Amino acid sequence: MLQIPMWKRVLIWSTCALAILFAMPNLFYDRVERHNDAVALFAAGDGSEAVEADRGAWPSFMPSFLVNLGLDLRGGAHLLAEVRVSDVYADRIDSMWPDVRDRLAEERSTVGAVRRMPSDDPGELRVRVGNPETIEQAAGFVRELAQPTQSATGFGQARDLDVRIDGEDIVVTLSEAERQATDERTMRLSLEIIRRRVDEAGTREPTIQRQGADRILIQVPGIGSAEELKELIGTTARLTFHPVVNATSDPDATPGPREVIYPSMDEPGTYYILEQTPVVTGEQLVDAQPGMDQNNRPAVNFRFNPAGGRAFGQYTAENIGNPFAIVLDGEVISAPVIQSHIPGGSGIITGRFTVEETSQLAVLLRAGALPAEMDFLEERTVGPELGQDSIDAGQIAAIVAMLAVLAFMLASYGIFGVIANIALLLNLSMIFALLSLIGATLTLPGIAGIVLTIGMAVDATVLIFERIREEMRTAKGPARAIELGYDKALSAILDANITTFITAVILFAMGSGPVRGFAVTLGLGILTSVFTALFVTRLMLVIYFERKRPKTLAI
């Protein structure tokens, strides 16, 4: 009747043993964490004594997976940024102008002179040709410039440009397919650049994730505040080099068509009117290093890639004696006069920098400019002290909850209570083992989820015990009562837990951040408590029964 085959017993006990083994590192959190850090450093080639000592803090044959602590427990910053993906359209379409101009210049005999017209929408290029009657033909020439859309999946069928005729103007815009492909590239580039910048700052285990179409979630544990993080990643660091049209002291001066006005960074009250289309941009930089200029002032040395170097070399050769503006994020850093042809594609940025500023600027330039600006939709900072307080309070609450439940179960069920209590402790080990193994993140609501599980986990066991009690009354003997108890409680246990599990799954799917952490612990708690109630308590009861052969059950 009450028989459990040996293989099943071995399986159940080994599951429990593994759970304890994998939950164990969390009891020695600091030591294991130091060990893990040291192992990573060691693998990276750091063999110093301190690293060696830390590596020995935890035996290497033991599992060393830890539960990740969420930002609300560890302290750190959380940012949700929205990338202005449409900013990139304007740049893309703007960069088409030389090609369009050159193509139509080739057909000058038919279409006449080509003029670029101002447009209200920065995402479109308006061109007017000298002979309006040839506009259809001219639009045809522009259409030839369209390339197949490049996307992550390769070359698509669609073309990247839409060319239409609006009155006397030929209007060139990015096609829908190209916009999507551009958005995709913008997001990937933004993610990559943010990752590089955060990595340069050297904090532990940052989370940088894309969310939805145009959002990026950034979580950095251990950073002082979201403000610091914003400064690090929020700077666009877009470096461009423009021909200077004019310098003025009037901030409201109206620049001509295709011209922009930017303030000077060092000289308040000075404004530069520049040509809108840059000669070269920071994207063509291959390296940037802090250094000194010939007057021993902090400066940043940079080098262009071959294409950028060529464009820069050609422009300087053609414009000797003309001023030339170096613009960073809409401010003119400096506007030197070109003294000579600069071949080789390297140069220096000077301005009124401090040494710190030059090294930060070099970092930003190396990591690359963000392709578009970002808006911050959400930010959260939790100080490390508050996080530690939450951990401490959560720990105490969990221990007290545990003791109270253990005592209550013991008082209510006697020897059966002992079994239920062992099952409860095993259950907790399993939750922690699973959380560590899947690398889940423990949050403050997650701790609440565990404490709630301590209370609810006994439910399945209670259902069984109560059923055994009832079955004992119909006096079929203790063995039969135990068996019937398990059989009849099964459907209630499953139904009750599946419904709760459904809500946990929905919470996980819809929730974010801490709520998700709660859903994970709740869901895992349900799985492990069903397992312990159905298998572990049963096995323990059977063993007890085999040893004692009681005539009646003290339940």
Partner 1 sequence: MMRLKLVPQDTAIDFFRHWKVTFGASLMAMVLSLLVFAIMGLNFGIDFRGGTSIRTEAQEPLDVAAYRDAIAPLGFGDVAITEVFDPAFGPDRNVASVRIQAQEGTEAITTEQINAVRDALQAVDPTLSFAAVESVGPKVSGELIQAAVISVALALAAVLFYIWLRFEWQFSVGAVAALVHDVVLTIGIFSILQIRFDLAIIAALLTIVGYSLNDTVVVFDRVRENLIKYKKRPLKEVLTLSINETLSRTVMTSVTTLLALLSLFILGGDVIRGFVFAMIWGVIVGTYSSVFVASAMMLQLGVKRDWSKNSGDTAGTQFGVKEG
Place of tokens 């002082």: 224
Cβ distance to partner 1 smaller for residue 229 or 326: 229
Question: CB of residue 336 vs partner 1: minimum separation in angstroms?
Answer: 32
How many angstroms separate the CA atoms of 170 and 168, rounded? 7
Q: Which stretch binds partner 1 (CB under 8 A): 314-322, 323-331, 361-369, 391-399?
A: 391-399
Place of tokens 């940088």: 208
Place of tokens 């889940």: 440
Residue selected from 22, 141, 312, 518 as contacting partner 1 according to rule CB under 8 A: 518
Alpha helices by DSSP H, listed for 82-164, are: 87-94, 97-106, 108-111, 135-143
Residue selected from 108, 512, 546, 548 as contacting partner 1 according to rule CB under 8 A: 512
Please classify residue 333 by burial: count the beta carbons closer than 10 Å to its beta carbon, then call 0-12 exposed, 13-18 middle and 19+ buried.
buried
Task: Considering only residues 178 through 237, tell me which ones interact with partner 1, judged by CB under 8 A.
Answer: 225-227, 230-231
The first and second tokens of residue 504, run together, are 């946990």
Question: CB of residue 196 vs partner 1: minimum separation in angstroms?
Answer: 22
Question: CB of residue 194 vs partner 1: minimum separation in angstroms?
Answer: 16
Helix 355-367 vs helix 176-201: crossing angle, to nearest 10: 140
Task: Considering only residues 521 through 540, tell me which ones interact with partner 1, judged by CB under 8 A.
Answer: 522
What x/- string results for residues 459 through 488 when contact with partner 1 is judged by CB under 8 A?
A: x--xx--x--xx----------------xx
Residue selected from 414, 438, 546, 548 as contacting partner 1 according to rule CB under 8 A: 414
* Residue 82 β-bridge partners: 215, 375
What x/- string results for residues 485 through 504 when contact with partner 1 is judged by CB under 8 A?
A: --xx-xxx-xxxxxxx-xxx
Question: CB of residue 544 vs partner 1: minimum separation in angstroms?
Answer: 15
Question: CB of residue 535 vs partner 1: minimum separation in angstroms?
Answer: 15
Residue selected from 307, 393, 438, 475 as contacting partner 1 according to rule CB under 8 A: 393
Task: Considering only residues 78 through 97, tell me which ones interact with partner 1, judged by CB under 8 A.
Answer: 79-80, 82
Strands in 176-278 per DSSP E: 207-211, 215-221, 239-248, 259-263, 271-275
Cβ distance to partner 1 smaller for residue 479 or 490: 490
Please classify residue 98 by burial: count the beta carbons closer than 10 Å to its beta carbon, then call 0-12 exposed, 13-18 middle and 19+ buried.
exposed
What x/- string results for residues 416 through 455 when contact with partner 1 is judged by CB under 8 A?
A: ----------------------------xx-xx--xx-xx
How many angstroms separate the CA atoms of 57 and 55, rounded? 5
The first and second tokens of residue 324, run together, are 């030339």
What x/- string results for residues 43 through 72 when contact with partner 1 is judged by CB under 8 A?
A: -----------------------------x
User: What is the β-pairing status of strands 271-275 and 259-263?
Assistant: antiparallel
How many angstroms separate the CA atoms of 503 and 31, rounded? 36
Report the first-to-last Cα separation within the chain, whole angstroms: 20
The first and second tokens of residue 123, run together, are 């995402």
Cβ distance to partner 1 smaller for residue 76 or 347: 76
Alpha helices by DSSP H, listed for 280-414, are: 306-318, 355-367, 384-413
How many angstroms separate the CA atoms of 39 and 46, rounded? 9
Return the closest-CA partner of residue 217 out of 237, 198, 236, 238.
Answer: 198
- Give the C-alpha distances (Å, rounded to integers) separating 456 from 234, 508, 526: 45, 19, 9
* Residue 185 β-bridge partners: none
Task: Considering only residues 359 through 388, tell me which ones interact with partner 1, judged by CB under 8 A.
Answer: 375-383, 385-386
What x/- string results for residues 315 through 354 when contact with partner 1 is judged by CB under 8 A?
A: ----------------------------------------
Cβ distance to partner 1 smaller for residue 316 or 390: 390
Residue selected from 50, 105, 113, 396 as contacting partner 1 according to rule CB under 8 A: 396
Cβ distance to partner 1 smaller for residue 51 or 454: 454
Q: Does 244 bind partner 1 (CB under 8 A)?
A: no
Residue selected from 389, 475, 550, 552 as contacting partner 1 according to rule CB under 8 A: 389
Question: CB of residue 419 vs partner 1: minimum separation in angstroms?
Answer: 15
Q: By rule CB under 8 A, what count of residues binds partner 1?
A: 81
Question: CB of residue 151 vs partner 1: minimum separation in angstroms?
Answer: 28
- Specify the DSSP element, H or E, that contains 247: strand 239-248
Residues 6+ apart with CB under 8 A from 178: 149, 158, 159, 160, 161
Question: CB of residue 19 vs partner 1: minimum separation in angstroms?
Answer: 20
Question: CB of residue 365 vs partner 1: minimum separation in angstroms?
Answer: 22
Q: What is the DSSP letter of 265?
A: S
How many angstroms separate the CA atoms of 189 and 282, rounded? 14
Cβ distance to partner 1 smaller for residue 141 or 486: 486
How many angstroms separate the CA atoms of 285 and 240, rounded? 10
Task: Considering only residues 114 through 153, tell me which ones interact with partner 1, judged by CB under 8 A.
Answer: none
Cβ distance to partner 1 smaller for residue 277 or 412: 412
Residue selected from 98, 164, 408, 475 as contacting partner 1 according to rule CB under 8 A: 408
Residue selected from 206, 221, 514, 525 as contacting partner 1 according to rule CB under 8 A: 514
Please classify residue 354 by burial: count the beta carbons closer than 10 Å to its beta carbon, then call 0-12 exposed, 13-18 middle and 19+ buried.
exposed
Q: Does 412 bind partner 1 (CB under 8 A)?
A: yes
Q: Does 520 bind partner 1 (CB under 8 A)?
A: no
Q: How many helices (H) and strands (E) does the chain have?
A: 18, 21
